[in-house]
């Protein structure tokens, strides 16, 4: 369902190639993006306006631009997938990408938002096409991961995780 949602969104906004311009999509959806320098590990927040069914997405621009893109996509995931609290603040969710030991409700929301972000920034169809194009290469090779991560404007860590999630590499 999350994959279909993000695929529909990409189609609607005519995105056919990486890198996905997530800010443009968010703006086209009439959501506001506010960038601020914040000390510490806060990556972003979602401030919902239930009345206008809109929201403000906050991004810590102290962080790397790749991470900011992931944050925007993650908050957009919350906006589309989860109703609830007016304000949602995220801290260092990238670190938790790999962890799946907890099954608390909030963690499920975080995992869904992360999955949405991954599907949006690294769509399965795009990744499959790019892997076909570069042919048989060692996907564990750091250089390959880096090249692809640069193309998608995501962190090598996020791209490696995505390849693993899609079943291309075992970790």
Smallest separation, CB 83 to Zn ion (Å): 14
- Residue 139 has a CB neighbour count (10 Å cut-off) of 17
Q: Per CB under 5 A, which region of 17-25, 105-113, 117-125, 161-169 contacts Zn ion? A: 105-113
Using the minimum distance from each CB to Zn ion, give the nearer residue, 115 or 148.
Answer: 115
Smallest separation, CB 43 to Zn ion (Å): 8
Q: Per CB under 5 A, which region of 9-17, 55-63, 106-114, 136-144 contacts Zn ion? A: 106-114
The CA distances from residue 109 to 56, 74, 121, in Å, are 18, 10, 18
Using the minimum distance from each CB to Zn ion, give the nearer residue, 110 or 119.
Answer: 110
Using the minimum distance from each CB to Zn ion, give the nearer residue, 70 or 152.
Answer: 70
- Residue 148 has a CB neighbour count (10 Å cut-off) of 23
Dihedral, CA of residue 89, residue 61, residue 96 and residue 142, to nearest 10 = 170
Alpha carbon distance 149, 2 (integer Å): 22
Smallest separation, CB 17 to Zn ion (Å): 27
Using the CB atoms, write b or e for 53-79: b if 16+ within 10 Å: eebbbbbbbbbeebbbbbbbbbbbbbb
| Structure token digits, residue 59 | 């991004």
Residues in contact with Zn ion, shown as a per-residue x/- string from 110 to 129 under the rule CB under 5 A: x--x----------------
Q: Is 59 in the site for Zn ion (CB under 5 A)?
A: no
Applying the rule CB under 5 A, the residues between 78 and 97 that interact with Zn ion are: 90
Q: Residues interacting with Zn ion, by CB under 5 A?
A: 90, 110, 113
């Amino acid at each position: 369902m999350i994959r279909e949602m993000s695929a529909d969104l990409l189609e609607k906004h005519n995105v056919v190639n990486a890198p996905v311009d997530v800010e443009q999509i968010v703006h086209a959806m009439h959501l506001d993006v506010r960038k601020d320098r914040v000390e510490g590990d806060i990556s972003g927040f979602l401030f919902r306006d239930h009345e206008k069914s809109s929201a403000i997405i906050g991004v810590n621009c102290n962080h790397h631009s790749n991470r900011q893109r992931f944050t925007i996509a993650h908050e957009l995931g919350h906006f589309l997938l989860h109703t609830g609290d007016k304000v949602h603040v995220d801290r260092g969710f990238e670190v938790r990408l790999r962890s799946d030991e907890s099954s608390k409700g909030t963690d499920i929301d975080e995992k869904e938002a992360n999955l949405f972000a991954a599907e949006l920034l690294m769509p399965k169809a795009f990744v499959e096409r790019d892997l076909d194009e570069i042919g048989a290469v060692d996907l564990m090779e750091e250089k390959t991961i880096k090249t692809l991560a640069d193309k998608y404007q995501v962190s090598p860590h996020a791209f490696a995780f995505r390849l693993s999630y899609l079943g291309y590499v075992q970790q």
